[in-house]
Structure 1
Amino acid sequence: MRKNLIASVAFLLAGSTAALAQSATDGKVKIGILNDQSGVYADFGGKSSVEAAKMAVEDFGGKVLGVPVEIVDADHQNKPDIASNIARQWYDTEQVDAIMELTTSSVALAVQAIAKEKKKIDIVTGAATTDLTGKACSPYGFHWAYDTHALAVGTGGALVKQGGDSWFFLTADYAFGYSLEQQTTDYVKASGGTVVGGVRHPLSTQDFSSFLLQAQSSGAKVIGLANAGLDTSNAIKQAAEFGITQGGQHLAALLFTLAEVHGLGLEAAQGLTLTEGYYWNRDDESRAFAKKFFARTGKMPNMIHTGTYSAVTQYLKAVQKAGTDETEAVAKTLHEMPVDDVFGRGGTVGANGRMIHDMYLLQVKKPADSKEPWDYFNVLATIPGKEAYIDPAKSGCDLVK
């Protein structure tokens, strides 16, 4: 009798364990981090985003629904065709459940289209174009850390208020640059400013001299740098050689993060106004996360790194709550769940997949004002999420009723 009872209990436990594992469709949950790991955006996200994703998995306990969580990663080299091939292979043959990070807007748009076709989750933290939650939105696509509208409202709005009412744009010649220029243009004009011209440059160009001379000769009060990563850093360095800021023009680094400030140095970056969704030295919780991140990477995190940590964490929470890693159920749960973590405090996800959270208007400190390593920013203002992001109903996404 006792042996039969023990056997029955063991059978039931085995059955419940098997049922739990079966709720993850292939006995594991696999997340791919696809980004630039060797090019112009390698410091912007890169391998540090991979570490942030691994931190999220470890902090979650390494498992969800009783099965292991695996992180894989690859370098898309900022090329949509390479990214598309990797995404298809991951989704079709390597049982990847979700792809995240996706720095470079052209890449993110390409991969989101594939994810939509395959009915798989993608969560973008590295790319900026609002098209991801606008005309190219997907029921399985989410945009997490920031976008071009939030940058325009933050940096563009601040400079117009400070008297920078005439602009000339130096723009990266691909989807991200176009979106950032257009969003900032709209905001500048709505605030009473004017745009006197602009020029586009190739991604990863080394020589900005001809572009900067055009900007200088325009007489615009503000030269808007609608680019990112090393492109922005190189433009700022070369602008100093031309004496542009000494001549009275202001450089607006429309997408510039802690990583690029560190690479450029406070001496060159001091006084720049920028917008991020996270700052490591904001409060005790942010500092605690940053300390753990620094121990792994040797650097403090920017909004891409911390946004990736948040996206992975929220995805695992959604799988746990849904009781499955099946795409439709997880996507529905991601739309319903509030976001409350070290990155997205009080965040919500709109019907278009846009995660709405506060942004921060920051100014780079003078070297003498920096109290410790990586202490680079003064927080000028908090921009409420509803001001920073486009109302989902006005986003152009056909999923919003």
Structure 2
Amino acid sequence: MQPVWSKVAGACALVFCLGGTAVAGDGVVRIGVLNDQSGVFADSTGNGSTIAARMAAEDFGGKAAGMPIEIIAADHQNRPDIGAGIARRWFDLDHVDAIADLGNSAVALAVAEIARDKNKAVLISAGGTTALTGKSCSPNTVQWTYDTWSQSNAIGTALVKKGLKKWFFLTADYTFGYNLRDETSKVVLANGGQVVGSVAHPLNSSDFSSYLLQAQASKADVIALANGGNDTANSIKQAQEFRITKGNQVLVGLSMMITDIKALGLAAAQGLYVTETFYWDRTPESRAWSERWAKRNNGRYPTMMQAGVYGAVLHYLKAVQAVGSVDDGAKVVAEMKKLPTDDPLFGKGYILPNGRKIHDAYVFQIKSPEESKSDWDYYKLVSTVPGKEAFLTLEQSGCKLTK
């Protein structure tokens, strides 16, 4: 079997070069986008994240600290062993300086540990576990876009306060799913709600019928989907087939992306509540960038994870420019924490000492077909959660680096 990294190393079709060639060597800022390029999260990360990284390199001017910027990409297939193997080869043989995106929390944790050992930088956009900036925090890691606590906090608080107190969880059977379930459960309980049940399902499932029937039988007010990508979309489609929402049970997608809404269609998704840190049509700046991105991606519009890759890579390049080198990954990440963050997608923000990027989060409700004015016009803003409230504080994170 051909090693997965051989698909990208030295292959011009998958390497983006600005002022240089894709060969191992010093004097180049080389960033690898490592994510799911072909599986359940390909729509929400995948090639769209690679496009976002390329745009960041272009917008920065093609060079940082006088060195050309190169973007390469590979598919970790949602397997920590494959992701770790690619990371080691990139760091040891291909002179990759930073790895970006890293959807799938188990892969992100594995790669973050390798990057710490090799003193490289990790720019996590799609990995959501709070462990990345908590018990497994690293001086080489920045977690940019969201985490399981930010996803659960706003929406859990809002719905329990509306009287939807009994929750049942449909949970993806891997680190991210369990983190999302556990963090949301804490929020529900803290606000006076209760958890009446939970069931786990394998990643990339096709049949959710038995899990949904358990949830329906629980008489829960809320059936919370602690999964992502196509798993979330398929859960909702099959819940519609069982007419679950007709029985006064509310479905909540705890990690829904705009690509999930596209796959479902507004007729099936209307009325759902989601939490995101980015929406393409929220501001004139985000709209202009997203329209540029869409022209490169067959008219599709970006998820918050893909937007996060742009923001993280752009800020990393600013830090490289300030430091004047990429040789010391921890030093570049430390500079990222010193510099205030500011980009057209997330606005102004900052990075905590544990690597947690702070910016506002938003609660949106999915529009009905009648409310939508055009394709990809899916969200209406319900509330804004300030950055200081959207994420765990440094003290709450449990990161030992800061003690």
TM-score by length of 2: 0.92
Partner Cα distance (1:254, 1:356) in 2: 19
Check if 1:387 corresponds to 2:377.
no
Partner Cα distance (1:65, 1:48) in 2: 26
What are the residue-to-residue correspondences of 1:154-169 with 2, within 5 Å? Answer: 154-169=154-169
Q: Which residue of 2 aligns with 1:323?
A: 324
Q: Alpha-carbon deviations, 1:310-356, whole Å to 9, x = none?
A: 01100000000112113232121011111111233221111110001
Q: Which residue of 1 aligns with 2:132?
A: 132
Partner Cα distance (1:105, 1:287) in 2: 29
Given that residues 65 and 322 in structure 2 are in contact (C-alpha distance below 8 angstroms), is that contact kept between their aligned partners in structure 1? no
Kindly provide the amino acid, as one letter, of the partner of residue 371 in structure 1.
Answer: K
> Structure 1 unaligned runs (5+)?
1-24
Q: Secondary structure of 2:156's match?
A: helix
Partner Cα distance (2:61, 2:79) in 1: 34
Given that residues 155 and 363 in structure 2 are in contact (C-alpha distance below 8 angstroms), is that contact kept between their aligned partners in structure 1? yes
Given that residues 364 and 379 in structure 2 are in contact (C-alpha distance below 8 angstroms), is that contact kept between their aligned partners in structure 1? yes
Q: Which residue of 2 aligns with 1:99?
A: 99
Q: Which residue of 2 aligns with 1:16?
A: none
Partner Cα distance (1:396, 1:329) in 2: 22
Q: Secondary structure of 2:342's match?
A: coil
Partner Cα distance (1:319, 1:113) in 2: 21
Check if 1:120 corresponds to 2:120.
yes
What are the residue-to-residue correspondences of 1:195-344 with 2, within 5 Å? Answer: 195-297=195-297, 298-326=299-327, 327-344=329-346
Q: Which residue of 2 aligns with 1:363?
A: 365
Q: Which residue of 2 aligns with 1:18?
A: none
Q: Which residue of 1 aligns with 2:3?
A: none
Kindly provide the amino acid, as one letter, of the partner of residue 308 in structure 1.
Answer: V
Q: Which residue of 1 aligns with 2:376?
A: 374
Given that residues 277 and 343 in structure 1 are in contact (C-alpha distance below 8 angstroms), is that contact kept between their aligned partners in structure 2? no
Number of residue-to-residue matches in the alignment: 377
Kindly provide the amino acid, as one letter, of the partner of residue 277 in structure 1.
Answer: T
- After superposing the two structures, state which structure 1 stretch, 276-285 or 153-162, moved more: 153-162
Partner Cα distance (2:210, 2:294) in 1: 39
Q: Which residue of 2 aligns with 1:398?
A: 400
Q: Alpha-carbon deviations, 1:257-302, whole Å to 9, x = none?
A: 1111111111111111001111111121111111101111121111
Q: Secondary structure of 1:41's match?
A: coil
- Distance apart, 1:367 and its partner CA: 0.4
Partner Cα distance (2:63, 2:342) in 1: 20
Q: Alpha-carbon deviations, 1:95-117, whole Å to 9, x = none?
A: 00000100001110111111111
Partner Cα distance (2:172, 2:330) in 1: 36
Partner Cα distance (2:345, 2:130) in 1: 20
Given that residues 171 and 226 in structure 1 are in contact (C-alpha distance below 8 angstroms), is that contact kept between their aligned partners in structure 2? yes
Q: Secondary structure of 2:225's match?
A: strand
Any runs of at least 4 consecutive aligned residues in structure 1 with deviations exceeding 6 A, and if so which? none
Given that residues 361 and 380 in structure 1 are in contact (C-alpha distance below 8 angstroms), is that contact kept between their aligned partners in structure 2? yes
Given that residues 156 and 254 in structure 1 are in contact (C-alpha distance below 8 angstroms), is that contact kept between their aligned partners in structure 2? no
Q: Alpha-carbon deviations, 1:142-167, whole Å to 9, x = none?
A: 10000000011122222212221110
Kindly provide the amino acid, as one letter, of the partner of residue 388 in structure 1.
Answer: A
Q: Which residue of 2 aligns with 1:55?
A: 55
Q: Alpha-carbon deviations, 1:68-94, whole Å to 9, x = none?
A: 100000000000000000000000100
Q: Which residue of 1 aligns with 2:174?
A: 174
- Distance apart, 1:386 and its partner CA: 1.0
RMSD: 0.9
Check if 1:143 corresponds to 2:143.
yes
Partner Cα distance (1:232, 1:155) in 2: 16
Partner Cα distance (1:268, 1:158) in 2: 22
Partner Cα distance (1:259, 1:285) in 2: 21
Q: Secondary structure of 1:368's match?
A: coil
Q: Secondary structure of 1:185's match?
A: helix
Q: Alpha-carbon deviations, 1:167-196, whole Å to 9, x = none?
A: 000000110011000100000000110001
Q: Secondary structure of 1:245's match?
A: helix
Q: Secondary structure of 2:230's match?
A: helix
Given that residues 228 and 256 in structure 1 are in contact (C-alpha distance below 8 angstroms), is that contact kept between their aligned partners in structure 2? yes
Q: Secondary structure of 2:142's match?
A: strand
Max Rg structure: 1
Partner Cα distance (2:355, 2:291) in 1: 30
Given that residues 225 and 251 in structure 2 are in contact (C-alpha distance below 8 angstroms), is that contact kept between their aligned partners in structure 1? yes
Given that residues 154 and 274 in structure 1 are in contact (C-alpha distance below 8 angstroms), is that contact kept between their aligned partners in structure 2? no
Q: Secondary structure of 2:348's match?
A: coil
Given that residues 285 and 345 in structure 2 are in contact (C-alpha distance below 8 angstroms), is that contact kept between their aligned partners in structure 1? no
Q: Secondary structure of 1:246's match?
A: helix
Partner Cα distance (1:196, 1:238) in 2: 21
Given that residues 122 and 141 in structure 1 are in contact (C-alpha distance below 8 angstroms), is that contact kept between their aligned partners in structure 2? yes
TM-score by length of 1: 0.93
Q: Which residue of 2 aligns with 1:351?
A: 353
